[in-house]
Amino acid sequence: MGGTTTISVGSDGVAIITILNPPVNSLSLDVLNSLKESFDQALQRDDVKAIVVTGAKGKFSGGFDINAFGGVHDGKAMSTGPASKPGYVSIDILSDTVEAARKPSVAAIDGLALGGGLEVAMGCHARIATSTAQLGLPELQLGIIPGFGGTQRLPRLVGLPKALEMMLVSCYLFNPPGDELLDTARRWALDILERRRPWVASLYRTDKLEPLGEAREILNFARAQARRQAPNMQHPQVCIDVIEEGIEYNEFQVLLKSDTCKSLVHIFFAQRGTTKVPGVTDRGLKPRRISKVAILGGGLMGSGIATALLLSGYQVVLKEVNEKFLEGGLGRIKANLTSSVKKGKLSQEKFEKTLSRLKGVLDYESFKDVDMVIEAVIENVSLKQQIFSDLEKYCSPHCILASNTSTIDLNLIGEKTKSHDRIIGAHFFSPAHIMPLLEIVRTEKTSPQVIVDLLDVGKKIRKTPVVVGNCTGFAVNRMFFPYTQSALLLVERGADIYKIDRAITKFGMPMGPFRLCDLVGFGVAIATGSQFVENFPERTYRSMLIPLMQEDKRAGETTRKGFYVYNDKRKASPDPELKKYIEKAREMAGVSVDPKVGGALIQLAKLSDKEIIEMVLFPVVNEACRVYAEGIAVKAADLDIAGVMGMGFPPYRGGIMFWGDSIGSKYICGKLEEWSKMYGDFFKPCGYLAERAALGAPLSTGGADEAKAKSRL
Ligand SMILES: C[C@H](O)CC(=O)SCCNC(=O)CCNC(=O)[C@H](O)C(C)(C)COP(=O)(O)OP(=O)(O)OC[C@H]1O[C@@H](n2cnc3c(N)ncnc32)[C@H](O)[C@@H]1OP(=O)(O)O
């Protein structure tokens, strides 16, 4: 597992123990064993009076080594050595060696002290941190609870409310400024030794703890809140119980083996893996400097993208077709920035500075020195084609030409240009300054340099980029187009709209397919839908329900009427009037409720929640398999991230492919086959899924990347 600690003793008698395990000084079992050895050495040596613990290269520690979890999930023992024994780190190292030591210790924290890292620091007798240090117990984001005494020491150091916030919301505590970290820590340790400062064992502190009755109330409130916010997850409740009862280790071990932990650890590594693109990021290319970006179109998307760029220090030129639209776009950007000020994320002074980097224009005059253009106009092929040939004329030959299209094939968009190597998709998700995903779409001709440049921009604007291949709908929209389609098919055959939405939100999606349609708006839903009808006619379910409703001026949330009706506060309520549209659509589709076909007829009006989830989401798994098999995504894990970050698929289920594998290819394929016999080709399993099912193999391995790797051998 690697990593170690070093020890050096100064002439002042202070031993500096440094954690050394790049890149984040994570606590592997080797590091923990070495930490114990260094401590024992410092305690035994006569020339050591006091101890300072720190991390190498400006990072205290990013916590327990998450790679070790993988071993546990695969059923292997973590490692050998004393630190692998149950409770050894928590009791033998942190309580009995560090905290109970006869020599005082101080944690000198620069950079990160997260999870186990902060727990080591809390075992020391005092903590000194720089102004930029990040302290936190983010274990819950991985489906576990702190396991090295954090649930007990943190409440004693900062009080229950702050400790609960740091664990359940996983936010970080920023400490007041400190300077000359190591010197201050050294002096502090000696001050403790000479009783000029208190010698405090965190575990025995009680001054910050609330009286019992009050503490119980705080914990019960936290329980209720966690139940509301994370109804499908057990570990936040377990964490609160453990804070109250103090028995940490056993629960930690149980959670470590849970499906939630497996899924969240998968998501952790998958997210970090998206920036590693074979054939692109392994060529040693350095991102070029991009400082000025032009955006075409100041609508919801364009203004959101502009906001994200401005907030990260880019200069932005916003182009619109007339004064009125330009004013609207600039106004939206200003409103976004104002909202950041209100939320305390941007100071008033920075607001002015940020806004001063924005320029609104009506022509291409200022495009000659921009480094990148992002086109964000309506989804109209000929308009986009015209724009791209204009861009070729007005921009420098090095300028990156990106499109924010969500569905249209990029080759079509660039058809009238000779700039195919610098055309790329930069597909943001609405609201673009908030949603974390950036789908980067490359064609066969996009140069690796341009991809590396956009990956860098993505990182700077704090998005998780996923690089995908070019096709209609790319990865996210293509995977999720069956989401609404299957829901429409079910409704036309008797299932209830609101029951479907309820079952799907209970599963963990932020909203069901119908509520989502209302949010996106029927105009966009129809435009996108028609792209799919055109490109994948054999598997597109054609329902007239949405067009029928739109004819009646019900177009979703913006018109206050869609599948739901909306009040002034945008609260959605079911609408009994929908019945008439459903009946008409059913008639036009020529289908009946509960068609009498096949022996294993499922009465769709009486579907259970489980059946709804399967019938809505297995077609999504099926399409994800196609996307993977075609090589649109190079890694199945990229699709997991795309679904989690772009569609809100619950991360604690690990993403769409990971979830599919947790159910099994055989079962999914069997169900899809059964439904395709009853309801048509919409459900037909794709070749890849059928093949994996026949082999009894997982879906997440064996896609185009594996096929390519094999063909290279
Ligand atoms: C018993 C204990 O209570 C249990 C625990 O301690 S569980 C662990 C608790 N700690 C955490 O959850 C922190 C997880 N890490 C993070 O949040 C972020 O990585 C960070 C804030 C530390 C650094 O973020 P950032 O600078 O953006 O770098 P990031 O790309 O995320 O990570 C850099 C590398 O370190 C790795 N890494 C980060 N934290 C790690 C950890 N705790 N264990 C192992 N590897 C880790 C990442 O996988 C990545 O590897 P790669 O370069 O091969 O992809």
Which protein residue's CA is at the shortest distance from atom 39 of ligand 1?
62
Mutation to probe ligand 1, out of 19, 21, 24 (largest number of atoms < 8 A from CB): 24
Q: Report whether 137 contacts 154 (CB < 8 A).
A: yes
CA 352/CA 264 separation, integer angstroms? 39
Mutation to probe ligand 1, out of 84, 91, 254, 272 (largest number of atoms < 8 A from CB): 272
CA 636/CA 644 separation, integer angstroms? 13
Does residue 685 register a pLDDT over 60? yes
- The residues that bridge with 318 in the sheet, in sequence order, are 295, 360
- Amino acid symbol at 405: T
Does residue 713 register a pLDDT over 50? no
The pLDDT mean for the chain works out to 92
Q: What is the mean pLDDT of residues 104-118?
A: 96
| Nearest ligand 1 atom, CA 119 | 3
Q: In the prediction, which pLDDT does 530 show?
A: 86
Mutation to probe ligand 1, out of 21, 28, 31, 66 (largest number of atoms < 8 A from CB): 66
Does residue 84 register a pLDDT over 80? no
Q: What is the mean pLDDT of residues 624-629?
A: 96
Give φ, ψ of 316 to 5 degrees. Answer: -125, 135
Which protein residue's CA is at the shortest distance from atom 16 of ligand 1?
62
Does residue 449 register a pLDDT over 50? yes
Q: What percent of the chain has pLDDT over 90?
A: 84
**From the CB of 111, is ligand 1 less than 6 Å away?**
no
**Residue 508 token pair:** 């963990």
Which protein residue's CA is at the shortest distance from atom 33 of ligand 1?
23
CA 470/CA 451 separation, integer angstroms? 13
Q: What is the mean pLDDT of residues 100-125?
A: 96
- Amino acid symbol at 45: R
Does residue 80 register a pLDDT over 70? no
Give the contacts of 54 (CB within 8 A, at least 6 positions apart). 16, 17, 18, 19, 60, 107, 108, 109, 110, 181, 182, 185
Mutation to probe ligand 1, out of 1, 78, 114 (largest number of atoms < 8 A from CB): 114
Instruction: Report how far ligand 1's centroid is from the alpha carbon of 62 (Å).
Output: 5
**From the CB of 239, is ligand 1 less than 6 Å away?**
no
DSSP for 584-643, please give it.
HHHHHHT--SS---SSS---GGG--HHHHHHHHHHHHHHHHHHHHHTTSBS-HHHHHHHH
Give the contacts of 443 (CB within 8 A, at least 6 positions apart). 410, 411, 414, 420, 423, 424, 469, 470
**Residue 346 token pair:** 């941007």
How would you classify the pairing of strands 423-428 and 437-442?
antiparallel
Q: In the prediction, which pLDDT does 132 show?
A: 85
- Burial class, 405, CB count within 10 angstroms (exposed 0-12 / middle 13-18 / buried 19+): buried
* pTM reported for the whole predicted model: 0.93
* pLDDT tens sequence across 367-419: 999 999 999 999 889 999 999 999 999 999 999 999 999 888 899 999 999 99
**From the CB of 118, is ligand 1 less than 6 Å away?**
no
Q: In the prediction, which pLDDT does 704 show?
A: 58
* pLDDT tens sequence across 200-245: 999 999 999 999 999 999 999 999 999 999 999 999 999 999 999 9
Instruction: Quickly state the pLDDT bin for 633 (edges 50, 70, 90).
Output: very high
Residues noted as catalytic: 119, 139
Instruction: Report how far ligand 1's centroid is from the alpha carbon of 134 (Å).
Output: 13
Instruction: Report how far ligand 1's centroid is from the alpha carbon of 58 (Å).
Output: 15
More confident residue, 651 or 602: 651
Tell me, what's the ipTM?
0.98
Instruction: Quickly state the pLDDT bin for 247 (edges 50, 70, 90).
Output: confident
Instruction: Report how far ligand 1's centroid is from the alpha carbon of 452 (Å).
Output: 23
Does residue 707 register a pLDDT over 70? no
**From the CB of 149, is ligand 1 less than 6 Å away?**
no
Which protein residue's CA is at the shortest distance from atom 27 of ligand 1?
272
Q: In the prediction, which pLDDT does 290 show?
A: 97
Q: What is the mean pLDDT of residues 268-295?
A: 96
Q: Report whether 55 contacts 25 (CB < 8 A).
A: yes
Does residue 473 register a pLDDT over 80? yes
Instruction: Report how far ligand 1's centroid is from the alpha carbon of 646 (Å).
Output: 22
CA 347/CA 703 separation, integer angstroms? 47
Which helix (H) or strand (E) segment holds residue 659: the answer is helix 656-663
Nearest to 372 by CA among 316, 434, 410: 316
Q: What percent of the chain has pLDDT over 70?
A: 95
Q: Report whether 510 contacts 648 (CB < 8 A).
A: yes
Give the contacts of 677 (CB within 8 A, at least 6 positions apart). 597, 598
The answer, yes or no, to whether the previous bond of 161 is cis (omega within 30 of 0) is: no
Instruction: Quickly state the pLDDT bin for 74 (edges 50, 70, 90).
Output: confident
Q: Angle 300-311/348-356 helices, nearest 10 degrees?
A: 110
How would you classify the pairing of strands 564-566 and 572-574?
antiparallel
Instruction: Report how far ligand 1's centroid is from the alpha carbon of 172 (Å).
Output: 14
* pLDDT tens sequence across 484-543: 999 999 999 999 999 999 999 999 999 999 999 999 899 888 988 888 888 999 999 989
* 371 half-sphere exposure, CB direction, 13 A CA radius: 15
| Nearest ligand 1 atom, CA 23 | 35
Give the contacts of 572 (CB within 8 A, at least 6 positions apart). 515, 518, 557, 564, 565, 566
Q: In the prediction, which pLDDT does 177 show?
A: 53
Does residue 318 register a pLDDT over 50? yes
Q: In the prediction, which pLDDT does 159 show?
A: 94
Q: In the prediction, which pLDDT does 234 show?
A: 95
Number of C-beta neighbours around residue 15 at 10 A: 25
**From the CB of 638, is ligand 1 less than 6 Å away?**
no
**From the CB of 147, is ligand 1 less than 6 Å away?**
yes
SS3 of 460, please? helix
**Residue 10 token pair:** 């100064």
Which protein residue's CA is at the shortest distance from atom 3 of ligand 1?
146
Which protein residue's CA is at the shortest distance from atom 2 of ligand 1?
116
**From the CB of 138, is ligand 1 less than 6 Å away?**
yes
